Amino acid sequence: MSFLEVKNINVFYGESQVLWDVSFYVEKGQLVTLVGANGAGKTTTLKTISGLLTPQSGQIIFSGEPIHLLQVHEIVNKGITLIPEGRQLFPQMTVEENLISGSYLKRAKIKRDKNLSKVYELFPVLKERRKQIAETLSGGEQQMLAIGRALMQDPNLIMFDEPSLGLSPILVQEVFSIIKELHEQGATILLVEQNVNQALKIADFCYVIENGRIVMEGTGSNLEENPRIREAFLGL
């Protein structure tokens, strides 16, 4: 049984269907990417796993338990953490206050000091600026802070929604290096990303979504060589 199983979910916004029989798997310790163009259904998929949306049909199984009918806080309490598009920090709070805000659940609170040390070890710049107001950080530093806040939740599964969005090419490389390092440390990651070229390079396995449907799957290296992927996403 897979760590996360998304099984034939159909999801609607009002009367408009946005996901059609979407199915994919994430094994424990894997880095799996869900790639596709803007509006393909990637963010909707993450919102459904997080409990922000409820599938009209289908199932989401996590660690052997169905979670698709649970409330958001119940899903978070199982260790599923979403780093949303646009970071969504508390702009007027300090770096450390933002980090601490990620550790209020009981399961995370008992490991707060340990996890804070780990975050500062991973991101020394956040330790240097822990008293600085979050909105005064650069875009790359804010993305580090969003990742750090997620790690404070002591996650079992980390979901990234477009982490490279709005960043310069140099910072994009830095963010992907961080995600790769987290994976190498044993984190289970589901990455949603428009930057298909970068996503394929670090993924163990990849699913391609178009118009709310999974249309292709495979390892990153296999999909990189696929003529359809090369033409549609890589400009080759």
| Domains of the chain with bracketed CATH | 1-79+156-236 (3.40.50.300), 89-154 (no CATH)
Element (H, E) at 139: helix 139-151
CB 213 within 8 A of CB 21: yes
Short-list 180, 191, 186, 220, CA closest to 204: 220
CB 194 within 8 A of CB 166: no
93 Rama class: left (phi>0) / alpha (psi -120 to 50) / beta: beta
Single-letter code of the amino acid located at 160: F
Structure tokens at 222: 């296999």
Tens digits of per-residue pLDDT, 150-186? 999 999 999 999 888 877 888 888 889 889 999 999 9
- The answer to whether residue 122 scores a pLDDT higher than 50 is yes
Tens digits of per-residue pLDDT, 182-206? 999 999 999 998 888 888 889 999 9
